[in-house]
Every structure is written in structure tokens, then in C-alpha cells.
Amino acid sequence: MLEREKVIVVMPAYNAAETLEKTYNDLSREIVDEIILVDDVSQDETVEIARRLGLKVIIHVQNTGYGGNQKTCYLEALKDGASVVVMLHPDYQYDSRLVPDLIRPIQEGTADLVLGSRILGGEALGGGMPLYKYLSNRFLTLVENLAFRKRLSEYHTGFRAYSRRFLETIPFLLNSDRFVFDSEILAQAVAYGFEITEIPVPTRYFKEASSVGVKDGLVYGIQTLGIVTKYLLNRFGILKSDQFQKKLSEVISRYHSPGIFLRKIDS
């Protein structure tokens, strides 16, 4: 019998004690082989709860931010032999019961990146997304679609699945440690020619599910426009940038490479 692909869920966590267990309970353990939680120096009981639930827990020595947290998440998932990596916020903002739908296009080989789209879900505002976030999302998405020549419904969801091939290729370690990491990785997907697809997901907003206020949101929006510009400059050969040229294997320490690239993947 062929062993099936290894599905690893990664959770970039920061003060997720209130919501972690609920998020975990909705995950199908039949589909998910391993769950890795990276703690970004939470001030609450996130780590204790994660350990009690039996998750693999990695603890940062200092707060690096949401993007920096994801770098650790993906390196660990690759080292542990993931074929498919799901990024799931432990803040219960996304419906983790939808993981099987999210990973299907990767398992079927039709995409390397799958986005859980709240806009396709059709109830972004109804689900509580603040109006200014909704409008910014629509505006940035329009700009990104034009720049990337795509027709996606949104680029700003935090519920995503990536193939191993994708994460082994793009130099995500060169990305920002902040929230704009999520925009950068999509620009890289386009630049490196990976297939992106989306599935509809419901929107859930409540107090614990969001720490991004107006200021962080503004920084994120401006930095997203920055990465779109950088993408275009690179694409037209005006200013080449390592973020869109290098491979992960070229930017990672050679002492860490064997653990990632020489792994034998069962499939």
C-alpha cells in the first residue's frame, strides 16, 4: 500500500490561549498527520495549552512578528517531511473543518497554493469584517489582480495551503517578519509561476480573532503596495530583486539544508 502524503498544519501563535483549543478541536486528525505550533513569546497560556493538546511546540526566544513566526513554521514543517502545509491561525478566525477542501487541489496536483477566500464565501461583511478592512481588501485585491494578471477574489486571507514543492522553491526567508509576509509569498508564487487557486470559506470576526488595528492595517496596506511595485520592477527587468530571483536552497544556511532538501518523502 502506498503511504499517503504527509499533511502538516502549522499555527503561528501569539496570545492564542482563548481560542487554540477550539481551533484544534475542529481539525480532523484523520486528515492531519502533525500539528506544529510556533509560539512568538505569548504572554498567556498558549504554550501550556498546546502541550496539553499534544501539539509539537516550538518557542521563539523573542517576539519576531507574524512573518518571522511563519518562517519558523515552514522550516519545521519541511524538516518534518510535509508534502502539504496548511497555515492556520490559532485565533479561531477560520473554519478548520475545511482543511480537507483546502488541501484537495494540492493533493490532486492542480495547484501549489490554495487560498481560503472570505470574499468567495460571500459573507465577509456579514461575518463581521470591519468595513474599512473590507474596502482595503477589495482595493488591494484589484491592484494585485492587475499587477499579477490574475483573477483571484482576495489575497489577504490567513487560511492557506502550500505544496512542499512551492515552499522548497521560493526564498521565503528573505520576506518580512511582519504581516506583509502574506502578500510577499503570493507575489513570489506569481513570479515563480506556481498555480494558485481558491476555495470559499466563511468569515468570522470577534475580539480575540484580530489584533490588527488601523495602524497595523495601514502599514500592511502600504507595504503590500510596496511588494507589488517590487514585483513589477523585477518582472520588467528594471530592478531585479533576490526575493524574486533566488531559490530557498541559495539563501538557507548550508548546515540546515540537508534536513530540508535531502529528506525522502513518502508518497
Ligand X SMILES: Nc1nc2c(ncn2[C@@H]2O[C@H](COP(=O)(O)OP(=O)(O)OP(=O)(O)O)[C@@H](O)[C@H]2O)c(=O)[nH]1
Q: Which residues bind ligand X (CB under 6 A)?
A: 12-14, 16, 40, 63, 65-66, 69, 89-91, 93, 158, 179, 209-212
| CB 66, min distance to ligand X, A | 4
Task: Please calculate the CA angle 39-44-46 and round it to the nearest 5 degrees.
Answer: 45
From the list Mg ion, ligand X, none, pick the one residue 95 interacts with, judged by a Cβ distance below 5 to 8 Å according to partner type. none
| CB 156, min distance to ligand X, A | 8
| CB 89, min distance to ligand X, A | 3
Closer CB to ligand X, residue 195 or residue 208?
A: 208
From the list Mg ion, ligand X, none, pick the one residue 152 interacts with, judged by a Cβ distance below 5 to 8 Å according to partner type. none
From the list ligand X, Mg ion, none, pick the one residue 12 interacts with, judged by a Cβ distance below 5 to 8 Å according to partner type. ligand X
Residues of the shown chain interacting with Mg ion in the complex, contacts defined by CB under 5 A: 91, 93, 209-210
| CB 116, min distance to ligand X, A | 12
From the list Mg ion, ligand X, none, pick the one residue 14 interacts with, judged by a Cβ distance below 5 to 8 Å according to partner type. ligand X
| CB 215, min distance to Mg ion, A | 16
Closer CB to Mg ion, residue 91 or residue 112?
A: 91
